[in-house]
């Protein structure tokens, strides 16, 4: 009996306990545990650090805005600020799929190191723009370069782990990133106090110093980022064989399957894959809204000073990290995805409602905690749900790219729904983010029903094996 057929749909052996590679070949549990931990240590921390830098660089425009950039570049006029924020996502969406195709050919370290270094240089250049349209150009370049990063990270991580352990790893990677990024406003607040040094404004110092950090991090990526399992250089031959065997046992896709036109077109018309892009776009509408507008809402909506607003941005992200990882651990323990997605979306709705409609600033700020936690938890949860239900390297690369591309569309929406004329309450924008959570709930329910009937059809022989892989069943 295959792994996926034991017990319920959601029972997959937890190989991180080191039980075995296949029914005939037993492996020492200590060896298995040591190998998985070695993968964790070599793979996840460097990607998490780089992703936190990526998040900081793409959203620091909000901190620069309240640190004097709005006045210097006249961003309050019309929709200039919204244009500067949303332009990032246009090339970000367009270049994600080509980037995910190239990462395998270029090599993970070479690809990620190159694009990180280049966008760091762009960040440094943003410190010296003198007009708002120059800022827009830099933001567009930033979108081109960052397009190849996050999809590549999710793709690479998904190829290393079996389905019963991917949620913790994706969440660990993500929450460490957002926790570090959550302190970016506090860091930016401190850096902005350098205003006047070398005749630079506080906002210019924010871009300059953090851009230089990105350049250094990009150079480090050439040495520390790890490649795909079959191309890795940090495990010995026995450990590599163990990793590949357990992946093949779980979903039969350890070997790379090459791209063909037929595969590409079949993926393109697969509505099932696009449902993840819809959900990810919905959750990113919320997370980007908080990232781009929280400091502004705290200043203009709740009356805090600029420095206090930047300091108050960090605590909700720390809470979100603890909340997200706790639920991810439970999700992996019980191998349930959909119910957790729904719960986290409801939690976000509660927070958004408090922020939008309560009249006491303390309660509105508590709503920020709930809203950020619910939204942040669902980012890796949706990615994990997708990775659990997609097999094959090319299909996984395609699904990762379009899913995160959906997140880019969510970023565009978030950039436009919080309008200056809606201050100080910003209720239209908060209503849109509440609606995005309802989309997540509805789509998740539809997928759970689809998976249930699809699994039953495969078990009863009324449907061929999913993706031509006998024994593979959907996780819901």
Answer yes or no: is pLDDT of 323 > 80.
Answer: yes
Stretch among 12-16, 241-245, 247-251 having the lowest mean pLDDT: 12-16
Stretch among 210-224, 253-267, 326-340, 409-423 having the lowest mean pLDDT: 409-423
Strongest mean pLDDT among 221-230, 303-312, 419-428: 221-230
**End-to-end Cα spacing for the chain:** 20
| Average pLDDT over all residues of the chain | 87
Token code pair at residue 437: 């959570």
Q: What is the mean pLDDT of residues 319-325?
A: 91
Stretch among 86-95, 112-121, 182-191 having the lowest mean pLDDT: 182-191
Could you tell me the pLDDT band of residue 420, with boundaries at 50, 70 and 90? low
Answer yes or no: is pLDDT of 459 > 70.
Answer: yes
Q: What is the mean pLDDT of residues 242-251?
A: 88
The answer to whether 93 and 408 are in contact (CB under 8 A) is yes
Domains, the chain, ranges and CATH? Answer: 26-468 (1.20.1250.20)
C-alpha pair distances (Å), 246 with each of 114, 241, 384, 394: 32, 9, 18, 19
Q: What is the mean pLDDT of residues 384-401?
A: 90
What does the pLDDT read at residue 312? 84
Q: What is the mean pLDDT of residues 329-353?
A: 93
The answer to whether 437 and 349 are in contact (CB under 8 A) is yes
Could you tell me the pLDDT band of residue 12, with boundaries at 50, 70 and 90? very low
What are residue 20's DSSP bridge partners? 26
Answer yes or no: is pLDDT of 24 > 60.
Answer: no
Answer yes or no: is pLDDT of 212 > 90.
Answer: yes
Q: What is the mean pLDDT of residues 71-75?
A: 94
What does the pLDDT read at residue 183? 76
What does the pLDDT read at residue 156? 93
Contacts of 352 (CB under 8 A, 6+ apart): 286, 367, 370, 371, 430, 433, 434, 437
The whole-model pTM stands at: 0.81
Distance from CA of residue 12 to its chain's centroid? 24
Q: What is the mean pLDDT of residues 287-299?
A: 77
What does the pLDDT read at residue 18? 36
Stretch among 14-18, 342-346, 467-471 having the lowest mean pLDDT: 14-18
| Whole-angstrom distance, CA of residue 23 vs CA of residue 62 | 54
Could you tell me the pLDDT band of residue 19, with boundaries at 50, 70 and 90? very low
The answer to whether 405 and 97 are in contact (CB under 8 A) is yes
What does the pLDDT read at residue 166? 87
What does the pLDDT read at residue 4? 37
What does the pLDDT read at residue 204? 96
What does the pLDDT read at residue 26? 65
Q: What is the mean pLDDT of residues 461-474?
A: 86
What does the pLDDT read at residue 42? 96
Closest CA to 161 of 48, 39, 258, 46: 39
What does the pLDDT read at residue 16? 38
Percent of the chain with pLDDT over 90: 54
């Amino acid at each position: 009996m295959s792994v996926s057929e034991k017990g319920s749909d959601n029972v997959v052996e937890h190989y991180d306990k080191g039980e075995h590679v296949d029914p005939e070949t037993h492996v020492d549990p200590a060896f298995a545990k040591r190998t998985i931990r070695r993968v964790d240590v070599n793979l996840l921390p460097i990607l998490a650090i780089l992703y936190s830098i990526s998040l900081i660089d793409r959203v620091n425009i909000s901190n620069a805005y309240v640190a004097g950039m709005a006045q210097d570049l006249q961003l309050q006029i019309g929709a200039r600020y919204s244009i500067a924020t949303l332009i990032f996502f246009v090339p970000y969406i367009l270049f994600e799929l080509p980037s995910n195709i190239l990462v395998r050919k270029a090599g993970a370290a070479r690809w990620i190191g190159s694009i990180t270094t280049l966008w760091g240089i762009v960040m440094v250049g943003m410190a010296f723009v003198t007009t708002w349209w120059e800022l827009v150009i830099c933001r567009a370049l930033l979108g081109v370069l960052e397009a190849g990063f996050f999809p590549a990270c999710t793709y690479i991580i998904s190829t290393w782990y079996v389905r019963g352990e991917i949620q913790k790893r994706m969440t660990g990677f993500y929450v460490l990133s957002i926790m570090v990024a959550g302190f970016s406003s506090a860091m930016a607040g401190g850096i902005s106090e350098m205003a006047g040094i070398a005749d630079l404004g506080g906002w210019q110092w924010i871009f300059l110093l953090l851009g230089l950090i990105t350049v250094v991090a990009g150079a480090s990526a050439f040495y520390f980022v790890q490649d795909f399992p079959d191309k890795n250089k940090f495990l010995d031959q026995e450990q590599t064989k163990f990793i590949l065997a357990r992946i093949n046992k779980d979903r039969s896709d350890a070997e790379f399957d090459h791209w063909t036109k037929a595969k590409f077109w079949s993926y393109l018309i697969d509505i099932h894959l696009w449902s993840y892009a819809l959900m990810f776009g919905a959750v990113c509408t919320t997370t980007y809204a908080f990232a781009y507008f929280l400091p502004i809402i705290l200043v203009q909506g709740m009356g805090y000073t600029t420095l206090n607003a930047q300091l108050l941005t960090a605590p909700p992200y720390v809470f979100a990290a603890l909340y997200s990882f706790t639920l991810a651990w439970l999700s992996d323990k019980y191998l349930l995805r959909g119910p957790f997605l729904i719960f986290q979306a409801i939690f976000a709705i509660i927070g958004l409602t408090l922020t939008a409609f309560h009249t006491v600033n303390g309660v509105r700020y508590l709503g920020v905690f709930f809203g950020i936690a619910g939204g942040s938890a669902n980012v890796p949860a949706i990615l994990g749900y997708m990775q659990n239900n997609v097999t094959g390297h090319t299909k996984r690369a395609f699904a990762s790219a379009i899913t995160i591309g959906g997140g880019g569309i969510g970023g565009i929406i978030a950039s436009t729904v919080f309008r200056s004329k809606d201050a100080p309450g910003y209720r239209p924008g908060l209503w849109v983010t509440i609606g995005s959570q309802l989309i997540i709930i509805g789509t998740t329910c539809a997928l759970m029903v689809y998976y249930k009937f699809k699994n039953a059809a495969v078990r009863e022989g009324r449907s061929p094996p999913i993706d031509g892989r006998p024994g593979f069943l959907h996780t819901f």
